[in-house]
Amino acid sequence: MVDLFSPFTLKDVTLRNRIVMSPMTMYRAVDGHVSDYHVMLMGSRAAGGFSLVFPEQIAILPDGRTGSCCAGIWDDKHIEGLSRIAAIIKSMGAVPAIQLGHTGRKGSEKKPWDGKTQLPPDHPDGWQVRAPSPLPYGGRYPYPVQELSTEDIRDLHEAYAAAAKRALEAGFEWLEMHFAHGYLGASFFSPLANQRQDAYGGNLANRLRFHREAMDAVRAVWPERLPLTMRLGADDFSPKGVQFEDAIWAVGELRQHGLDLADISLGINTDDMVDPPFDREGFMVERASRIRREIGIPVGVSWNLGVPQTADRVIREGSADLIFLGRPALANPHWPVWAARELKHADPFSLIPEDWAWWLRSRKGSRGSEGWPAIKE
């Protein structure tokens, strides 16, 4: 039976288990460049047993960053730093993944711990944000939004393709396009943010045109043998926003454009969500499971899946193929080994590099002194 620790193969890539370090923006880059900090973070999680490791969302253009200290790939100069991340992940037995994105109307942000609000376009660390329609998100994101022209959209697709080429050169083997969380892809899909009258707005098919064209542009340069995936904002939890039925259709459509796996998340196109589910365990699992079943495509899912028994059950029940962990991956670099111990895996240390595993297996200390929480019998 397939469980949390079973390998998973997609195209020519095999993951050693089903546990993914989800992309997480860290606000530590300089001019889009990653640093030793990112190498440390990704390397430690790869060494801790995660099978697929994402650095943060990587911006395809400078105005696609969350804040001025977020990472990017709009210049060939970014390749070297990113290649160090890919190399360390690979050397620890995991697969290096990259999430390409553009933040649209939710860009130009301050660091969260400086107050998670937008900076005005004339601030030295801010910029003019752009999106499908000139509608500010509101609340923490109050500044005027510039509507994208069709030429701008064409340039964005070219930027996606250029970014994908650089990602390949940097050594990444899995590419995810970020179409969730209120960023540009999510805005195009949602009637809350997209009120265009042209071919990129209006009906559902038009609201997915941006994504189809972006995916075509990326697939043209990203090898067929490597997975091309997306994170989709599959529900806005709002009566006037993206409805989950629309998302099911969208995944089927994008599959025709080269999509290999759908990572199911929320739209977050408004703060006025009806009954937001953030305190419920695994609240996106049922939606991911329906997409998997109805479209017949592999799916990944995140949100509140840090309890090992829950994550394992999601895989065993066939609700999802991959578990994306965000906060648990920050909290515990060895979450996979901890989970394996909790779930009574025959050899939890087989999840980490053999040069540590050997010592931990063969040099046992006194009871309880190993550095792991005691297992409840």
Ligand X SMILES: Cc1cc2nc3c(=O)[nH]c(=O)nc-3n(C[C@H](O)[C@H](O)[C@H](O)COP(=O)(O)O)c2cc1C
Summarize as ranges the residues that interact with ligand X (CB under 6 A): 22-25, 56-57, 99, 178, 180-181, 231, 265, 302-306, 324-328
DSSP-based three-state secondary structure for 300: strand
Q: Secondary structure of 95-110 in the HEC alphabet? A: EEEEEEECCHHHCCEC
Of 281 and 294, nearer to ligand X (C-beta) is 281
Pairing of strands 52-53, 19-21: parallel
Question: Cα separation of 119 and 113, whole Å?
Answer: 14
CB of 149 to ligand X, least distance (A): 27
User: Residue of minimal CB distance from ligand X?
Assistant: 326
Question: Cα separation of 249 and 228, whole Å?
Answer: 18
CB of 259 to ligand X, least distance (A): 16
Active site residues: 183
Question: Cα separation of 283 and 86, whole Å?
Answer: 31
Of 92 and 285, nearer to ligand X (C-beta) is 285
CB of 106 to ligand X, least distance (A): 11
Question: Cα separation of 352 and 164, whole Å?
Answer: 29
Of 17 and 57, nearer to ligand X (C-beta) is 57
Q: SS3 breakdown of the chain: % helix, strand, coil, rounded to 5?
A: 35, 15, 50
Of 83 and 99, nearer to ligand X (C-beta) is 99
DSSP assignment of 169-210 equals HHT--EEEEEE-TTSHHHHHH-TTT---SSTTSSSHHHHTHH
CB of 58 to ligand X, least distance (A): 9
CB of 254 to ligand X, least distance (A): 17
Q: Count Cβ atoms below 10 Å from residue 204 Cβ, excluding itself.
A: 15
Question: Cα separation of 298 and 229, whole Å?
Answer: 10
Q: Which amino acid is at 356?
A: W
Of 99 and 349, nearer to ligand X (C-beta) is 99
CB of 181 to ligand X, least distance (A): 6
Of 47 and 266, nearer to ligand X (C-beta) is 266
Cβ atoms of 132 and 125 within 8 Å: the answer is no
CA 99 to chain CA centroid, nearest Å: 6
Cβ atoms of 153 and 198 within 8 Å: the answer is no
- Helix spans in the chain (H): 36-47, 79-91, 150-170, 184-189, 204-207, 209-219, 244-255, 285-295, 308-316, 327-331, 335-342, 354-362
Cβ atoms of 58 and 72 within 8 Å: the answer is yes
CB of 310 to ligand X, least distance (A): 11
Of 22 and 201, nearer to ligand X (C-beta) is 22
Residue from 334, 366, 339, 367 nearest 353 by CA: 334
